[in-house]
Amino acid sequence: MRPGRPSAHEDKPLLDGKKVVITGGTGSLGQVLTRRLLEGEVGVPRQVVVFSRSEALQHTMRLAFQHRRVATDDIVYDEERHHRLVFRLGDVRDLRAVAAVLRDADVVFHAAAMKQVPACEYHPVEAVRTNVDGAANLVRAIQDLGLGVQTVVGISTDKACKPVNVMGMTKAIQERILIDANLHCDGTRFIVARYGNVIASRGSVVPLFREQIAHGGPLTLTTPEMTRFLLSLDEAVDLIFAALRFAHGGETYIPRVPAARIADVAGAMAEGREIELRYTGIRPGEKVHEVLVSEEETPRTSVRGEHLVVAPILPELRVETADEPFERREFSSADEVLQGTELHALLNRHGVTARRGATVTP
């Protein structure tokens, strides 16, 4: 580890008195992350800044965090924690906006992204501008302006591992941009948190299934074989906080989470009702199975506590650790797929109503 680079922390509240910026903070993850930051789980930040380009989502989120149902011209923050929550309009594609919001930031959670797979396939240049250029703007602002940002946590996806679609390709490049930044931004630690599908997040399959079931079907799926890793938003934040506490510069943190066949998830959610199951074929850019650790990454992967850690691909950034080696070829959603009671228990635990005995008809 180069001199002056922050290392892993675990012996004090990390964010006490810090200014924290969440890019893409109005998304599903950003809202849960904001709540848990304000609750002081990893220290009490002096300010949490939600940075995004959607004024509508910012307005909705602002009201939600004030527990208000009706907007008024005079917004009053009723609780102390709301004095620490501010909103800034801007786009990660705009270097000046990024530089402005980072000027006195201490920690950045970089969650801004185009993440809808077919949308990225039909608009690849737009995906590059957000997922690649956005990360590059963040690094450039810190490097060129000599900003005192201590840690940047990049939020990545299993689609960045062995990518076959534009979304995954751009997120894979984003990972490499952030890892490489450790060599160029003295005093700033850049790390990555990579995880799979978030149950019931905006744009995921669970809300779609709920709507289809409410209308009596059909339930639309791509293929019978398709599998996905499943975790909750809170589990995603757990991973991010673990990386914040323990990751060395350039490392990628990965959760050890279960996977399931999407067809089985649909059947569990049907709750015993006879609902038609209609297969529509794989959408543009989709994979049948996702991978969180590739075969090529396995030699650099170790087990640290409850998580997997991929050491940086750049040898200059690697540090010696006492971690256990990861002894699998790769970590695929096709391995150890949950079924039956285990799947129902997982879904129920995450607030997705599911009962055994569901019936779906192809």
Flag whether pLDDT at 48 surpasses 90: yes
Owner of token pair 């199975």? 289
Supply angle C-alpha 183, 186, 189, rounded to 5. Answer: 75
Is 116 inside any structural domain? yes
How far is Cα 38 from Cα 46, in angstroms, rounded to an integer? Answer: 9
> What are 139-190's pLDDT values in tens digits?
999 999 999 999 999 999 999 999 999 999 999 999 999 999 999 999 999 9
pLDDT reported for residue 57: 95
Section 229-251 average pLDDT: 96
Question: pTM score, two decimals?
Answer: 0.89
Is 273 inside any structural domain? no
Secondary structure, 3-state, 162-173: CCCCHHHHHHHH
Is 167 inside any structural domain? yes
Q: What residues are annotated to the active site?
A: 159
Tokens matching residue 97: 């906006």
Give alpha helix (H) positions in the chain: 28-38, 55-65, 95-102, 117-122, 124-127, 133-145, 166-180, 205-214, 233-246, 262-269, 340-349
CB 319 within 8 A of CB 1: yes
Flag whether pLDDT at 267 surpasses 50: yes
Q: Which residue has the higher pLDDT, 199 or 290?
A: 290
pLDDT reported for residue 290: 96
Nearest CA to 254 among 203, 225, 227, 294? 294
> What are 184-229's pLDDT values in tens digits?
999 999 999 999 988 866 667 888 888 888 888 888 888 999 999 9
Q: Helix count (H) and strand count (E) of the chain?
A: 11, 19
Omega prior to 218 cis, within 30 of 0: yes
Section 328-354 average pLDDT: 84
Flag whether pLDDT at 289 surpasses 60: yes
How far is Cα 289 from Cα 235, in angstroms, rounded to an integer? Answer: 21
How far is Cα 126 from Cα 261, in angstroms, rounded to an integer? Answer: 31
> What are 300-309's pLDDT values in tens digits?
999 999 999 9
User: What CATH code is carried by the domain that includes residue 32?
Assistant: 3.40.50.720
With cut-offs at 50, 70 and 90, classify the pLDDT of residue 65.
Answer: confident
pLDDT reported for residue 68: 61
55-65 vs 28-38: helix axis angle to the nearest 10? Answer: 40
Is 341 inside any structural domain? no
How far is Cα 233 from Cα 204, in angstroms, rounded to an integer? Answer: 12
Section 276-286 average pLDDT: 87
Distances (CA, A) of 8 to 93, 189, 296: 30, 9, 25
How far is Cα 359 from Cα 234, in angstroms, rounded to an integer? Answer: 30
Say how many domains are in the chain.
1
pLDDT reported for residue 10: 47
With cut-offs at 50, 70 and 90, classify the pLDDT of residue 4.
Answer: very low
* Ramachandran class of 173: left when φ > 0, alpha when ψ lies in -120 to 50, beta otherwise: alpha
Owner of token pair 């285990």? 342
Residue 106: count of CB within 10 angstroms of its CB: 20
Coil, strand or helix at 1: coil
Q: Which residue has the higher pLDDT, 353 or 111?
A: 111
Is 53 inside any structural domain? yes
Q: Which residue segment(s) compose the domain that 77 sits in?
A: 19-195+232-255+292-330
Section 99-122 average pLDDT: 96
CB 93 within 8 A of CB 134: yes
How far is Cα 351 from Cα 119, in angstroms, rounded to an integer? Answer: 28
pLDDT reported for residue 318: 95
Got the DSSP string for 195-261? E-EETT-TTSHHHHHHHHHHTT-PEEES-TT-EEEEE-HHHHHHHHHHHHHHPPTT-EEEE---EEE
Flag whether pLDDT at 82 surpasses 60: yes
Percent of the chain clearing pLDDT 70 (strictly above): 89
Distances (CA, A) of 229 to 74, 292, 338: 44, 9, 10
